[in-house]
């Protein structure tokens, strides 16, 4: 399917599961490569392989939110001059490099082809699917996350299993939590399959990419809001990330945020008690979410007012403090509901005690 949006327009997903050497051997000379510096250090053959294809440049960037910046974008644009109109930008790294390169690919020559090589599980299951990229902006002394962004779909994604071997357990867990989230919200049969036998990394990534792509295909430019189901666990997840000063990682915060969403869903009669118990057990035994004690530890640091303020600043709260939350109606079926503020406030005492409300 071609698209009127140029090289970054939505097209059916092309995933290649093969070693990085295979990507390199088919790469036309004159591409531009941006590589996570840590990945380059851990996998030195990757850089020599790229260099052999005579790229216009190979740029190494450190990962982390500071790199999703205008400054780093400027560095890529500065070396992109020699990239032809039909050139290719290759992004090798986690969500940092992927998000930044998505923006760069959209701007270079008004849009060039992007090849994503996700090297973290988060990037493989989430950020490299769905066409979104963004950078952070500093305004009024605050760092605004994903403040400027684009839709620019990768033409191909290369999933090179050997690159995942250097990931730590904590990094794998983060991505696995997002993957299990998608399964809980979108595919009951796959959930049951995962519960019978925990999937290995490759099928876990494949399943999540297929599910996320299915959602994005129905709403490639986020015009009708059907992607919101992917935010299951994110309403309280973002609050927990902020309250912990980002010591609790995004994935772990989303894991705990899903418990909050199950509790609220139960209180509203949307999520049955047996469904909530099954999903909580699955998340604990599957990807290994943190215990409720961790939820208690983070929430004890904050007043209800602090929490309400964070919810409001995340644009998920309405004028009367009511929340737009993704709740689970059944396995594989998530729905967006308006939740009055009193519903989460009434659960706070139990959450702070580390018990089931
Ligand atoms: N565009 C989207 O739809 C979307 C979705 C989810 C997340 N994101 C974004 O993704 C970013 C987070 O992505 P991330 O979690 O991949 O973080 P990241 O890219 O910052 O990488 C995390 C750490 O892993 C290291 N790393 C990367 N690959 C490695 C490997 N193979 N072996 C060892 N270490 C490796 C990095 O150097 C870094 O230290 C956030 O900025 C988030 O906003 C975007
Ligand atoms: Zn997330």
* Residue whose CB lies within 8 A of the most ligand 1 atoms, among 61, 93, 94, 171, for a mutation test: 94
Q: What is the pLDDT of residue 5?
A: 59
Whole-angstrom distance, CA of residue 344 vs CA of residue 351: 10
Q: How far apart are CA 328 and CA 235, in angstroms?
A: 14
Q: Report the candidate in 79, 331, 341 with the shortest Cα–Cα distance to residue 236.
A: 341
Which of the four pLDDT bands, split at 50, 70 and 90, describes residue 212?
very high
* Residue 295: closest CA among 348, 246, 235, 223: 348
Q: Would you state the pLDDT for residue 29?
A: 94
Interval 303-351: pLDDT, tens: 999 999 889 887 666 777 789 999 999 999 999 999 999 999 999 999 9
Share of the chain above pLDDT 70, in %: 97
* Distance (Å) from CA 121 to ligand 1 centroid: 8
Confidence at residue 2, expressed as pLDDT on a 0 to 100 scale: 44
Ligand 1, residues at Cβ distance < 6 Å: 36, 38-39, 42, 63-65, 68, 93-97, 99, 119-120, 122-123, 126-127, 130, 132-133, 146, 163-164, 166-167, 171
Backbone angles phi, psi at 117, to 5 degrees: -120, 85
Ligand at minimal distance from the CA of 235 is 2
Residue, of 139 and 137, whose pLDDT is higher: 137
d(CA 49, CA 23): 10
Share of the chain above pLDDT 90, in %: 88
pTM of the complete model:
0.96
Tell me the mean pLDDT in the region 52-62. 97
Which residue, by CA, sits nearest to atom 23 of ligand 1? 63
Lowest mean pLDDT among 83-87, 209-213, 283-287: 83-87
Mean pLDDT of 39-64: 97
The torsion of the CA quartet 267, 269, 270, 274, rounded to 10 degrees, works out to 90
Q: Which residue has a Cα nearest atom 5 of ligand 1?
A: 127
What is the whole-number distance in angstroms between the Cα of residue 188 and the centre of ligand 1? Answer: 28
pLDDT for residue 1: 43
Q: Is the pLDDT of residue 264 over 80?
A: yes
Q: Which two tokens stand for residue 62?
A: 């450190």
- Looking at every residue in the chain, the average pLDDT score rounds to 94
Among 122, 149, 234, which is best to mutate for testing ligand 1, by the most ligand atoms less than 8 A from CB? 122
Beta bridge partners of 135: 148
CA atoms within 13 A on the CB side of 275: 23
- Per-residue pLDDT tens over the stretch 162-202: 999 999 999 999 999 999 999 999 999 999 999 999 999 99
Mean pLDDT of 25-47: 97
Q: How far, in Å, CA of 340 to CA of 346, rounded?
A: 11
Q: From ligand 1's centre to the CA of 146, what distance in Å?
A: 14
40 alpha carbon – ligand 2 mean position (Å) = 25
The residue among 146, 126, 124 whose CA lies nearest residue 135 is 146
Look at residue 13 and tell me whether its pLDDT is greater than 80: no
Which of 20, 123, 248 most suits a substitution to test ligand 1, by most atoms within 8 Å of the C-beta?
A: 123
């Amino acid at each position: 399917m071609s698209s009127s949006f140029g090289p970054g327009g939505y097209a059916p997903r092309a995933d290649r599961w093969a070693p990085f050497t295979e990507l390199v051997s088919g790469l036309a000379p004159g591409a531009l490569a941006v590589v996570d510096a840590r990945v380059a250090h851990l996998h030195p053959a990757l850089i020599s392989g790229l260099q052999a294809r005579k790229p216009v440049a190979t740029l190494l960037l450190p990962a982390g939110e500071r790199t999703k910046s205008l400054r780093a974008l400027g560095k890529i644009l500065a070396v992109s001059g020699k990239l032809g109109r039909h050139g290719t930008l290759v992004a090798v790294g986690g969500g940092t490099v992927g998000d930044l390169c998505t923006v760069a690919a959209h701007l270079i020559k008004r849009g060039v082809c992007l090849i994503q090589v996700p090297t973290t599980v988060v990037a493989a299951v989430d950020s490299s699917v769905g066409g979104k990229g963004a950078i952070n902006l500093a305004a009024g002394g605050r760092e605004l996350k994903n403040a400027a962004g684009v839709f620019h779909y990768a033409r191909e994604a290369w999933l090179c299993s050997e690159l995942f071997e250097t990931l730590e357990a904590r990094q794998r867990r983060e991505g696995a939590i997002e993957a299990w989230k998608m399964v809980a919200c979108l595919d009951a049969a796959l959930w049951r399959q995962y519960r019978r036998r925990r999937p290995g990394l490759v099928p876990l990534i494949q399943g999540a990419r297929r599910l996320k792509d299915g959602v994005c295909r129905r709403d490639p430019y986020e015009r009708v809001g059907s992607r919101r189901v992917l935010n299951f666990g994110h309403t309280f997840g973002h609050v927990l990330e902020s309250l912990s000063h980002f010591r609790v990682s995004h994935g772990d915060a989303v894991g705990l945020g899903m418990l909050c969403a199950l509790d609220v869903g139960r209180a509203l009669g949307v999520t049955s008690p047996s469904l909530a118990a099954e999903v909580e057990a699955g998340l604990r035994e599957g990807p290994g979410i943190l215990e409720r004690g961790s939820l208690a530890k983070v929430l004890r640091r904050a007043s209800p007012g602090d929490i309400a303020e964070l919810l409001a600043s995340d644009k998920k709260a309405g004028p009367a403090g009511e929340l737009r939350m993704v709740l689970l109606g059944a396995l594989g079926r998530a729905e967006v509901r308006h939740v009055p503020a009193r519903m989460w406030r009434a659960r706070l005492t139990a959450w702070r005690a580390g018990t089931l409300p």
